[in-house]
Amino acid sequence: MSMLTPPGMGGKYRIKGNKYPRMRRPRRRGRLVVLVASSAAVLGMGGWGMWQLVGVFTGGGTKVSAVGSGTDCAPETKASPSPSAKPLPEPRAITVNVLNATTRSGLAKKTADELKKRGFKIGDVGNATKQYDKKVKGPGMLLGPASALDTSLPVLGTQLPGAERRTEAARKGVAVDLVIGDGFKELAKKPDADRALTKMARPQPAPSSKKGC
């Protein structure tokens, strides 16, 4: 055994030259890999948690439903068709009595002629009855049977906006009255009346709330 051979080496190693071998413990690569992987996992979980917290406080991210709500879909508003209503009659199907409740002469005939041009049927033309004569302060009053409240009266009302509408339970027949009042100036312009009629015939759908994803 050489004198340069360290004790306990059993002659297994022989030292050549003037340098001693460096004695190191074997590297434990497996433990190092596990530590690196664990650190990466911890960092990843921490980053994900931080992202969730930022989403909660800023309102961002995916909306999560409350526990027990039974759904994870946000409410959505959609337009649904309005309930079916009774169809409105056309002007040619409405008979109108034009009555003058003012002290101005000629209003009933002039108004009746204009309504006839617009397609309405004309019934009686003359002065208003004592019940309404000189007692209508607005532009006019529309009178009819109870069945005309949502049919004939609204259609006739497009020709004289602002006119009061009344029904008479004991009234017979289907004709309606247009009683000219002190505030009357003229009927609505025909283009405006036509637009009002079109809008009534095609009502907008009513909005309704519906849950969707």
| pTM confidence score | 0.58
State the pLDDT at residue 38: 63
User: Could you tell me if 94 and 121 are in contact, meaning their C-beta atoms sit under 8 angstroms apart?
Assistant: yes
User: What residues are paired with 125 via a beta bridge?
Assistant: 98
Mean pLDDT of the chain: 77
Inter-residue contact 177 to 101 (CB < 8 Å): no
Over residues 159-183, the mean pLDDT reads: 96
Residue 77 has pLDDT above 70, yes or no: no
Domains of the chain plus CATH, in order, are: 93-201 (3.30.70.2390)
Going by C-alpha positions, the residue among 173, 179, 2, 154 that lies closest to residue 86 is 154
- Output the pLDDT for position 201: 82
Residue 64 clears pLDDT 50, i.e. is over it: no
pLDDT > 70: percent of the chain: 54
Return the higher-pLDDT residue of 13 and 205: 205
